[in-house]
Chain A
Amino acid sequence: MTSTPVVAPLPTTKTQRVKRRLTSRGATIVSLVIAVIWTLPTFGLFISSFRPEEEIKANGWWTIFSNPGFTLENYREVLLSSSASSPQLGEYFVNSLAIAIPATVFPLVLAAMAAYAFAWIKFRGSGALFVFIFALQIVPLQLALIPLLQIFSGVLQPFQESVGDA
């Protein structure tokens, strides 16, 4: 057989062609079901967040049409209220940022430096050290809390006081 170039009709691009063949009706139904199940709990909470407290406690969020009640009071209370008993979400949000930003930047930089060393500098025991650091993920975080607290109160606090910043 001679190798004649096959002039196949290509009405669409390659990806589109594969797409049409891969998706079937059954698959669509299954993925829709999964999507609904995975969204429903959060959706319920979302609806509830706009309902008055007594309605939330009295009936389910799916009865929103038979028990209408729409309020932004919950959001106002959480975001803007200045009374001491209500949650100070603004403050919490700043606290979250104050933790999230350094907690992202610091490990990223330090890990990148260590990764550079492992990738480009050849030294004895490099493989073993790498495996050891990797294996440290087994240590459960809860286990580190007590000794860390002791370090903070035993070492850092006296140091802070000694430099006159308490």
Chain B
Amino acid sequence: MRTVDLIEKIVQVGLGLAVFAAVIGLILFLADKAPKRAKDVVQLVVFLAPAIILLAIGLIYPAIRTSILAFSNKAGDLIGLDNFAWIFTQPDAVRVVINTLIWVVCVPLISTIVGLSYAIFIDRSRGEKFFKALVFMPMAISFVGAGIIWRFLYDYRPAEREQIGLLNQIVIWLGGEPVKWLQTEPVNTFLLIIVMIWIQTGFAMVVLSASIKGIPTEQVEAAQLDGTNAWQRFRNVTLPGIRSSIVVVVTTISIATLKVFDIVRTMTAGNFDTSVIANEMYTQAFRANEPGRGAALALVLFVLVLPIVIYNVRVLRKQKEIR
């Protein structure tokens, strides 16, 4: 890349930011100058409109378009529920739904448990920040990068050659035969799930650790004076204190897991019975030229995420009432 291009690009970004700042500044200035009577309404519109317009263009409109697509065939004629019938009758498609359900049970559960226990074990220990950084690091790696790292780890070489994948090498050290991990069903799905757990545990750990530190020391000490053991203190003091954080962590990870795409795409591309809904959606819409089926899968995903979001909203509401 030439230096000129580089400078040009940087100038463009700077210019974009400057224009953005100017527009926002102008809008705020005008809102401030609005006549007194209409001030509240003007303020409301000015503050809410940008966010709502962008959401409408970027999310609501596409969502509606896709919903219509889900009930039509390749040519664009409405065909009713055929696409959904395909999802729930074809063995391959049913497998995709089941895989997604396995993912959404395993990943939030295990990452939260591991993250929580790690957060508690290292809480207030020496070198806490360093230990946190180690487990948080995968969060900073993109899903695609994580996929590449773990493919390296699961790599397979025939038994007579030297292994370059750590997992197969461990199997050999233990006296076993190397396995084609990513092609062996059903273990391959769980190996992909491990990658997602590896990434999400850091998130769970950081949020829960911050929440644990919010518990007043007095409560912990009082429990100690009452002669409780560590497990009782955890059950009766720590756990109630961080309940709302656990709900946030579990729901956030669940939603991220339901939408998981990159890991499956980069590691197996959904072959060998490892596909999940988001990946199959892509395969159907962009590879198999069946946008209707892709859209129908997207709607199924939507229906699966819906209860989690509703639960989240209810918890949010309850907290508002308490305050």
Residues of A near any B CB (own CB < 8 A): 14-15, 18-19, 21-24, 27-28, 30-31, 34-35, 38-42, 44-45, 48, 56-63, 88, 90-91, 94-95, 97-98, 101-102, 105-106, 109-111, 113-114, 116-117, 121, 123, 129, 131, 133-148, 151
B236 at the interface (CB under 8 A from A): no
Q: Say yes or no: B220 contacts A134, CB within 8 Å.
A: no
Q: Say yes or no: B55 contacts A140, CB within 8 Å.
A: no
Q: Say yes or no: A45 contacts B47, CB within 8 Å.
A: no
Query: How far is it, in angstroms, between the C-alpha of A98 and the C-alpha of B17 when the chains are bound?
Result: 10
- Nearest CB on A from B230, distance (A): 7
Q: Say yes or no: B316 contacts A110, CB within 8 Å.
A: no
Q: Say yes or no: A35 contacts B20, CB within 8 Å.
A: no
Residues of B contacting A31 in the complex (Cβ-Cβ under 8 angstroms):
118, 121-122, 125, 131
B73 at the interface (CB under 8 A from A): no
Q: Say yes or no: B43 contacts A146, CB within 8 Å.
A: no
Residues of A contacting B298 in the complex (Cβ-Cβ under 8 angstroms):
140, 142-143
Residue among B47, B55, B153 facing the most chain A CB atoms (10 A cut-off): B47
Q: A35-B134, A45-B149 given as contacts; is B44 within 8 A of A123 (CB)?
A: yes
8 Å CB interface, B197-223 against A: 198, 201-202, 217, 220-221
Which residue from A15, A101, A111, A151 sits with its C-beta under 8 Å from B17? A101
Determine the interface band of chain B, counting residues with CB < 8 A from chain A. Answer: 35 or more
Residues of A contacting B150 in the complex (Cβ-Cβ under 8 angstroms):
41
Stretch of B87-95, B157-165, B181-189 with 4 or more beta carbons under 8 angstroms from chain A: B157-165
Query: How far is it, in angstroms, between the C-alpha of A19 and the C-alpha of B220 when the chains are bound?
Result: 11
In the complex, number of A-B residue pairs with CB atoms less than 8 Å apart: 194
- Nearest CB on A from B305, distance (A): 4
Q: Say yes or no: B201 contacts A38, CB within 8 Å.
A: yes
- Nearest CB on B from A60, distance (A): 5
Q: Given contacts A60-B164, A106-B20, could you give 8 more A-B pairs where the C-beta distance is less than 8 Å?
A: A30-B121, A42-B138, A94-B10, A109-B20, A113-B46, A135-B310, A142-B278, A142-B282
B240 at the interface (CB under 8 A from A): no
Query: How far is it, in angstroms, between the C-alpha of A133 and the C-alpha of B309 when the chains are bound?
Result: 11
Stretch of B59-67, B101-109, B241-249 with 4 or more beta carbons under 8 angstroms from chain A: B59-67
With CB as the reference atom, state the residue of chain A lying closest to B252. Answer: A137
Residues of A contacting B123 in the complex (Cβ-Cβ under 8 angstroms):
22
Q: Say yes or no: B59 contacts A144, CB within 8 Å.
A: yes
Q: A42-B138, A142-B281 given as contacts; is B153 within 8 A of A59 (CB)?
A: no
With CB as the reference atom, state the residue of chain A lying closest to B164. Answer: A60
B288 at the interface (CB under 8 A from A): no
Which residue from A19, A38, A138 sits with its C-beta under 8 Å from B302? A138
Which residue from B20, B46, B58, B316 sits with its C-beta under 8 Å from A144? B58
